[in-house]
Every structure is written in C-alpha cells, then in structure tokens.
C-alpha cells in the first residue's frame, strides 16, 4: 500500500473524527433544547488488503469509517411550567402531531403545547397535537375513547345543563323526636294530608320534626329547591310493632308554583296537591338502622281530589331498586309521571335499595295509599332491602343531615384546561363540572433508533423504525404524562466535553500521520539530487 496509502488512512481518520465532532457540537448546541435527544457516534475499521508476509498472508487496513450514529433516548430532566398544556412523558413514547397543510404525521418528545386562537392545541410550529375524543357517556374508571386519533380542538367552551335524575340523601332522624303531625286515621300519611299547596307556607313549621332542602336542576339548567319533610309516627295504635321497629313518614316537595304537572286536564299547581311529588315511610329497627321503605306517587289516571290517597299508588322503581318520582318544572304536556315518554324521572336514595331482580314491592302490596290505614303490616317494603355503605339512621343524637348529593347542574363556561397522568385532557367549567374532552395519543416504535430527525424537535418514522404503535399513556410500554412540566435536553455536558477532548486528540493524531507520511515522501524525493 505504501506511504500514499497511509496518507489516505489519515484522511479517513480526519474525516471520521470531523463527523464525530459535528455530532458532539450539535449535542452541545442543543443542551437547552426542549425534549432534545442527543446522538452518539460509533467508528468501525474499513476494509483490508491481503499482502504476502514471511509468515504467510497478512492484512493491511485502509482507514476508519462511521459505523453508526444512534440517538440517545434516555430520559431528560423535567422543568416546572406554569402552562397546564406543557406536558412531558415519564418513560417511553412520543407525542403525535400533524402538519396542518400536508397532513404528514410527526413525533416529538417536546411537549411545549398551547392552544391557539382557534382553540387548537399546537406545538411552536403550528403542528396540531393528536388525541382521541372521549365518549361523554363513559362509565368505566378511565374515559372511553372514540374512533381514531384526531386534532385536539376546544369546541366545548360551554358545558350544557344536565337535569337532575338522581337524589341521594342520608339523615339521622331522632328516635326521641316528638310526633308533630298526626291526622286521625292516617298516621303514616299525616304530612301528606296536612300539605296544602294553596297556602303559604304549604305546611306549617310546627307540623314536622325535620326538613332538608337540596337544589335540583331542570332540562334548561334552572335550579329548583326540593324539600323533604320528616315526622315520626307515634300514634298509640302504631308506635312500634312486635319487634320494636319504628316508623317515620316523609313527603318530597317542590315550591307549588314550580309544579308544572297536568293530569287528566287538571293543572296540579291549582290544587292543594301542588308541589307534592312523593309520600312514604321509613322503617328503623330498635338499633336505629333503616330496614324498610315505602313510597307512593300520583297515578296517571288520577281524578277528583289530587290529594286523595286513592290517587296515590306504590312508586315505580329504577333498575337499581330505588323509588322514582317525577317533577315537571317546564310544564311539558307529557312529563307528569315516570311512564310518560317526556317524563324526567328522579330516583330517591335514602341509603336503602331493593336488591331483588326485577325490583318489586313486597306483599301485601296495597292498591293505593288509602289501603295502608293505621296498620304497620300493611306498609309495603322492598322485596329484598339492601343497605348501602352509608344509610339513614334513627339514633338518639338529634335530627341531622349526614350527606346529600344530586347529579344535575346548570350551564357552565370553560375556565381552565388540565391534563392528568393518563393523558386525559379535561375542561373545568364555571358550574363546577370537570368534563373529559380528549386523551393524548402516544406512539412507540419497535426500533426508535432508526427514526428520522426532521428538525424542530420532530421525528418521522422510517422503514427500519417500523410504523408507530399508538396507545394511551400508562398502558403497555408507554410512560405516564406529567402536566405543567417540560422535558429538558438529555445531553450530559460533562460527558460531551470528555468526548470532545478524545475526538480532538484523535483528529490530531490522524493529522500527524499525514504530516509524517509527507515527511517520509520528502525523504524519498531527496534520494535523487
């Protein structure tokens, strides 16, 4: 090969170390680039020539080349951010973004995303972040996703109202309370008989032992006060049964002027039954535990006096075994009872439900409330009473509301956007609702080292990297999402400085090989003078 070949070996070394120096320089230049992943260079020896030697065939090398330039995908440190949409991935995975003009898909670790003036979540170059829409009716622990990944766009700046369909309330009704409402012959429906929707107030304050009000909402998002009145049944003939069980009566009411029901042509807000939605009883054992419940609602064929107990029949039950009443606040023609197509049924939960399937009232089931009379044995109950973890009681600790909730709310406006560790983008609204909007799409690759760098913190897939394997954060190999965080460059400056020194020395050594070969060639030229 000779001296000339040794010069070319030195040139290959200079070229290889120059490329390595470029990689190191790029790493150092991006030491503060969001989500940047450094690269490393590997050298390899070039091909060899065979020569004859005294010991046989020998080989002489022809320099060095670049074996590979691989990305370093180790985790970078996190920096706090004040933007909720600045997100980082703790572990494997890439965010997915789409070019707004070409629809080309790219991948990035830089989560410095913001919503633009059109409400589109974008990166600094205007590339649109991708995610799955969320099924608003998801019932699982995690939001259900719909379809394929799409642009994350805030098109739900307003949270629509949702009418109340469930009310849950647990109370303690004192076992020592005085019976303040006792209508002769109707001990279990004294509150019902005392109520008069034409009066103001409809029931005097001295005719019940306890009352509790909860705010509910109609279809338009308007709120309405719903009040439940309670009074113990301590008639001498029905104070307790042989087992020592005690009974409280209750009525469920709304302001009479807000009662829009019409039955058989009679507007209830013109009758004494205005605002009276349900009547019933609660039964407690001697330990104060709720063991039974009855409820009656106005039947759809009611005639004559709407407060007549013959017009009140055992309430229908939900599939969960909870009694149902219907409040018609908007005056819809067919929204009076749970059986009507336009009705808005509301379930009532005192902490006791019917565990039978299907849920039914136990026998004897009275045809109407008037059949109960003053006999405890005539009060219907759930076929299979089932207490929840929290239920109403009757202890000697005074009347009190323990808890209450309802599932309706009025309209609200978007106030803030948040992202959780599962990549779920949620909107927080002025009505107190937190609605799931999107789930960030993360991508992984069988061979991430063969991704193509596109600049702008973007990668694209190649044949060698394989197609993107998309999924949700925290599933499979994909990492979790950190909100209000940005992943910094993973370049280790100290490590790069050491590489800088060794690369410099390698470059110098190869340049010395060239100058030495040049000196030897000079000596050869000097042989002939």
Tokens of 97: 């973004």
Judged against a pLDDT cut of 60, whether residue 334 lies above it is answered with: no
Judged against a pLDDT cut of 80, whether residue 137 lies above it is answered with: no
- pLDDT, residue 277, reads 95
Burial of 237 (0-12, 13-18, 19+ CB in 10 A): exposed
- pLDDT, residue 337, reads 59
Residue 360 CA neighbour count, 13 Å, CB half: 7
- pLDDT, residue 264, reads 83
- pLDDT, residue 78, reads 95
User: Percent of the chain beyond pLDDT 70?
Assistant: 95
Count CB neighbours of 301 within 10 A: 10
- pLDDT, residue 339, reads 58
The CA distance from 147 to 135, in Å, is 10
- pLDDT, residue 138, reads 67
- pLDDT, residue 342, reads 61
The CA distance from 328 to 414, in Å, is 29
Whole-Å CA distances, 523 to 230, 458, 528, 529: 117, 54, 10, 11
Per residue in 489-510, pLDDT (tens digit) is: 999 999 989 999 998 898 888 8
What DSSP state is assigned to residue 451? P
**361-379 mean pLDDT:** 88
Q: Say how far residue 303 (Cα) sits from the centre of its chain.
A: 48
| Placement of tokens 């030697």 in the chain | 53
Judged against a pLDDT cut of 80, whether residue 237 lies above it is answered with: no
Per residue in 448-494, pLDDT (tens digit) is: 999 999 999 999 999 999 999 999 999 999 999 999 999 999 999 99
- pLDDT, residue 527, reads 82
Tokens of 474: 């925290």
- pLDDT, residue 449, reads 93
pTM of the predicted structure, to 2 decimals? 0.72
Helical segments of 30-92, H only: none
Q: Is the dihedral of CA 235, 241, 243, 248 positive or negative?
A: negative
Q: How confident is the model at residue 49 (pLDDT cuts 50, 70, 90)?
A: confident
- Looking at per-residue confidence, does 122 or 57 come out higher? 122
- pLDDT, residue 3, reads 72
- pLDDT, residue 105, reads 96
**335-361 mean pLDDT:** 81
HEC profile of 181-197: CCCCCCCCCHHHHHCCC
């Amino acid at each position: 090969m000779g001296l000339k070949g040794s010069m070319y070996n030195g040139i290959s070394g200079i070229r290889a170390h120059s490329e390595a120096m470029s990689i190191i320089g790029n790493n150092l230049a991006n030491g503060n680039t969001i989500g940047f992943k450094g690269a490393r260079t590997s050298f390899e020896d070039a091909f060899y020539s065979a020569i004859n030697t005294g010991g046989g065939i020998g080989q002489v090398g022809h320099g060095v080349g670049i074996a590979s330039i691989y990305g370093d995908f180790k985790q970078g440190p996190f920096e706090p951010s004040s933007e909720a949409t600045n997100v980082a991935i703790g572990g494997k995975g890439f965010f997915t973004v789409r070019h707004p003009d070409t629809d080309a898909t790219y991948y990035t670790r830089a989560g410095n995303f913001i919503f633009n003036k059109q409400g589109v979540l974008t990166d600094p170059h205007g590339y649109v972040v991708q995610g799955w829409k969320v099924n608003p009716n998801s019932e699982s622990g995690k939001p259900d996703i719909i379809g394929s990944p799409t642009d994350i766009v805030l098109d739900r700046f307003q949270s629509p109202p949702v009418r109340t369909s469930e009310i849950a309330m647990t109370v303690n009704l004192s076992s020592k309370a005085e019976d303040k409402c006792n209508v002769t012959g109707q001990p279990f429906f004294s509150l019902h008989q005392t109520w008069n929707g034409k009066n103001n107030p409809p029931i005097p304050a001295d005719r019940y032992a306890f009352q509790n009000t909860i705010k509910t909402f109609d279809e338009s998002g308007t709120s309405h006060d719903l009040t439940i009145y309670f009074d113990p049944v301590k008639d001498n003939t029905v104070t307790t049964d042989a087992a020592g069980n005690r009974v409280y009566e209750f009525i469920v009411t709304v302001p009479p002027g807000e009662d829009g029901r019409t039955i058989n042509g009679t507007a209830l807000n013109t009758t004494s039954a205005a605002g009276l939605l349900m009547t019933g009883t609660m039964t407690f054992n001697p330990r104060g535990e709720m063991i039974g419940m009855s409820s009656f609602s106005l039947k759809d064929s009611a005639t004559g006096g709407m407060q007549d107990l013959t017009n009140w029949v055992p309430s229908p039950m939900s599939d969960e075994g909870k009694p149902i009443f219907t409040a018609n606040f908007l005056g819809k023609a067919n929204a009076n009872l749970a059986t009507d197509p336009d009705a808005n049924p509301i379930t009532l939960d005192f902490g006791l439900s019917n565990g039978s399937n299907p849920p039914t009232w136990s026998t004897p089931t009275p045809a109407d409330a008037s059949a109960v009379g003053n006999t405890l044995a005539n009060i219907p109950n759930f076929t299979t009473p089932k207490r929840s973890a929290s239920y109403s009681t009757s202890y000697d600790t005074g009347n009190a509301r323990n808890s209450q909730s309802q599932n309706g709310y009025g309209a609200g406006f978007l106030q803030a956007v948040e992202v959780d560790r599962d990549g779920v983008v949620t909107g927080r609204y002025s009505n107190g609702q937190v609605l799931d909007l999107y789930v960030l799409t993360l991508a992984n690759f069988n061979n991430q080292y063969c991704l193509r760098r596109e600049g702008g913190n973007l990668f694209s897939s190649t044949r060698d990297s394989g197609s993107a394997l998309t999924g949700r954060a925290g599933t499979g190999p994909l990492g979790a999402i950190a909100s209000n965080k940005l992943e910094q460059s993973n370049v280790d400056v100290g490590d790069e400085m050491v590489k800088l020194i060794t690369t410099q020395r390698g470059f110098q050594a190869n340049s010395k090989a060239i100058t030495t070969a040049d000196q030897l060639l000079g000596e050869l030229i000097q042989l002939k003078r």
